[in-house]
Every structure is written in C-alpha cells, then in structure tokens.
Amino acid sequence: MKHLFLFTFFLTSVIGFSQQNSPNIILMIGDGMGLTQISSGMYANGNQTALEESSFIGLSKTASANRLVTDSAASGTAMACGIKTYNGVLGIDTKNTPHKSILEFCKEKGYTTALLATSSILHATPASFYAKVASRREYETIAFQLSQHQVDYFVGGGKKFFIDRKDKRNLINEMTDYTFVETLEEYEASSGPKIGFLTYDEEPPSLMEGRVPSLNELTVSTLEKLKATEKPFFMMVEGSQIDWGGHDNNLDYVVSEFKEFDSTIRKVLEFAKEEGNTLVIITADHETGGLALTNGDIEKGKVRGSFNTGGHSATMVPVFSFGKHAALFSGIYENTEIFHKMYAALTKE
C-alpha cells in the first residue's frame, strides 16, 4: 500500500513536471508578409515594428512540391504538418497520405488549442492545421472537418459554410459542445471550454472597409482564456489579408493590415515576456505581389512601392522567434522545418 502510494505520488509529480515544462507555442503567420511588406509597414509606422523585439531571425524557403511559387495551402501544410505538397492541397502529401499537424500533436499532449484568422476560418492557412482535403476550395468539407475536430477556440469568417450547405446539415447546431458567440463582447464574456466565433458569413472585409473586431482584441481575449485553462496551449494567429493587399497591388491595403498584425505581435510578445515558458514564432507563408519599396518619407510615414505580379513570389520569407527554444529558428531552412522545430520544442524537456 505504501509502495502504491509512493508510486502514484511519483507518477503525479512526473506528469505535473512534464506539463509544467511543455511550452506554450504561438505561431503567427502574416499571409504574404515578405520583408518588403514588413519594411513598408515599419516605415509607415514611425520606423518601428514589434518584430524588433524578437530574439532570433531565420529565413524560410517556400517552394511547394510542384511549384517554385507556392500557394497558401501548400505552404500552410508545410508549416503545420512538416511536408511539402502540391499547391491547393491541405494536410495530405504527394502520395495521398494525410499528416498530423502540430496543433494535433499538441492536442495529443493535452494542450488547449486556438486558431484566429482575419479571413474565413476555412481559408487555406488556418485550415492547414485541421483539414485533410485535396482542394482548399472544398469549403463545406473543410467546415465539416472543423466541426469534427475539437479545436478549442476558433475565430474567423465563413459562417455560411456551416449552416447553408448542400447536405442541408446545420453544423453549428450539431456542435453541441461549443458555445457560439456573435460579438466580441460575447466572446470576452464566454467561459465555455470550447468557443466558436464566426465573425462574417463569408470572407471578412478589409480593415479599410471596417472589419471588426480587431485581431488585437481577439488575440488578447483568447490569451486570457488560454491562460485561465492552466494548461499549455498552441495558438495560431493569422494576419490573413496582408496577402490580399498584395494581390490587389494596393500598398495602403498591405500597410493597414500589417499594422494591425504588428500591434497584435506586440501584445503576444508582452504576454510571452510576462508569462515565460512560451515560444513565439512570427513568419509568412510566402511573399505576395513581388513588392519593391521605391520611395517614401520616414518623417511623414509615407511609402511608395511597385508590384511585379498580382500573384505570389518565390523569395524567402523571414522567421522571427522569441522565448522558449527560440534559438531553434535561426538559420536558413525549408518551410517544413518550422513544423519540425515546433515539434522539437514541444517534445524537448
């Protein structure tokens, strides 16, 4: 009896110890956020960015399995699952084998998980962390997979793919273990262990067109919830529309979306500093627009640029890291390494 007690005590302390050491992981993806997008936003923002607080910097090679120029599905899958795949594919490799994402590995370790995006939550980047589909355009299938998945907190657009479906199912009604909220106030007030906040029916508008709530407020509120669970967590936050500004060849669009993302990064780094035991990685899936900064005025916060394409480009993108195991992210490597480095941080003592 005494031995059993001691053994139980030993087990409890080992489990307690390993949970205590498992770092929180916060991955922040600026879609289409190459070095020029960052520079533009920085000069337009009084010559400063929260990224200057990061401890290590790396460069990520973004080519997909079949294209020098990746799309957000292949690059999202590379970072989320550690595999190169074809453009347009989510969570499945070139041999048709599905792969677990870092979010799924974290969940297996008892982590709480969260996904926040300023696009639809079904869009390629957030979907890389939970969906396994041959085409990123299968939004109803992706919504169904999210409904089965048990991501603890998710925020983004795309409501109509849950409720206005070809199969006539209402996924929101089916997801009985979730609290669904409609406003930031409701989100902040909700203490449900699982919360879905579908911010818009389809894609949220740009900030310039009045998108609310701000990514900043959503992130701060989510961090409070995650902290309250007293468990380690994985959170992915996407500044989705930096990319859309690039596709539109609209530098004001790029800069405004970057600024919101940058202020969110500032909040996340403040949290990580205060909390400790937290790894923060900030990167992009690819560059968008082939942007060159050609003129401007730092004093006036004005930037001028020219775009080379309405699509993505193949230039390497920066990776900024801060906190626990951040040193893993220095160097030059394939985007799949971002998964492997997060996985190493997750399993390291």
What does 249 interact with, of Mg ion, Zn ion, none (CB < 5 to 8 A by kind)? none
Size of the site for Mg ion (CB under 5 A): 4
What does 125 interact with, of Zn ion, Mg ion, none (CB < 5 to 8 A by kind)? Mg ion
**Subset of residues 101 to 160 that bind Mg ion, contact rule: CB under 5 A:** 125
Given the residues 60, 72, 119, 120, the one annotated as active site: 72
Nearer to Zn ion, 243 or 257 (CB): 243
The three-state secondary structure class of 157 is strand
Span near Mg ion by CB under 5 A; candidates 24-32, 45-53, 193-201, 300-308:
24-32
Nearer to Mg ion, 203 or 337 (CB): 203
What does 260 interact with, of Zn ion, Mg ion, none (CB < 5 to 8 A by kind)? none
Give the x-and-dash track for 233-252 against Mg ion (CB under 5 A): -------x------------
Burial category of 182 from C-beta neighbours within 10 Å (exposed 0-12, middle 13-18, buried 19 and up): exposed
Question: Closest distance between Zn ion and the C-beta of residue 314, in Å?
Answer: 13
Q: How many CA atoms lie within 13 A of 63 on its CB side?
A: 5
CA nearest neighbour of 103 among 231, 196, 234 = 234
CB atoms within 10 A of CB 307: 20
Nearer to Zn ion, 238 or 243 (CB): 243
CB atoms within 10 A of CB 119: 26
Question: Closest distance between Zn ion and the C-beta of residue 207, in Å?
Answer: 17
72 binds Mg ion (CB under 5 A): yes
Question: Closest distance between Zn ion and the C-beta of residue 211, in Å?
Answer: 17
Cβ atoms of 261 and 216 closer than 8 Å: no
Nearer to Mg ion, 106 or 242 (CB): 242
Question: Closest distance between Zn ion and the C-beta of residue 275, in Å?
Answer: 33
31 binds Mg ion (CB under 5 A): yes
Distance CA 209, CA 204 (A): 10
Cβ atoms of 179 and 160 closer than 8 Å: no
What does 257 interact with, of Zn ion, Mg ion, none (CB < 5 to 8 A by kind)? none
Greatest Cα-to-Cα distance within the chain, rounded to the nearest angstrom = 77
The three-state secondary structure class of 257 is helix
257 binds Mg ion (CB under 5 A): no
CA nearest neighbour of 29 among 285, 210, 213 = 285
CA 250, 251, 254, 260 dihedral sign is negative
Tokens of 59: 């460069």
Span near Mg ion by CB under 5 A; candidates 49-57, 183-191, 201-209, 232-240:
232-240
Nearer to Zn ion, 152 or 243 (CB): 243
* Residue 72 designated active-site: yes
Distance CA 92, CA 96 (A): 6
Question: Closest distance between Mg ion and the C-beta of residue 214, in Å?
Answer: 18
What does 240 interact with, of Mg ion, Zn ion, none (CB < 5 to 8 A by kind)? Mg ion
Question: Closest distance between Mg ion and the C-beta of residue 240, in Å?
Answer: 4
**H-type helices in the chain, by residue range?**
2-21, 35-43, 72-81, 102-108, 124-127, 139-147, 160-163, 171-174, 184-189, 215-228, 242-247, 251-275, 336-347
Residue nearest to Zn ion (CB): 243
Question: What single letter denotes the amino acid at residue 305?
Answer: G
Distance CA 321, CA 131 (A): 26
Pairing type for strands 287-288 and 312-313 reads antiparallel
Nearer to Mg ion, 84 or 225 (CB): 84
> Which residues make up the interface to Zn ion (CB under 5 A)?
243
Question: Closest distance between Zn ion and the C-beta of residue 317, in Å?
Answer: 13
CA nearest neighbour of 60 among 281, 258, 283 = 283
Q: Which residues are known to be catalytic?
A: 72
Residues that bind Mg ion (CB under 5 A): 31, 72, 125, 240
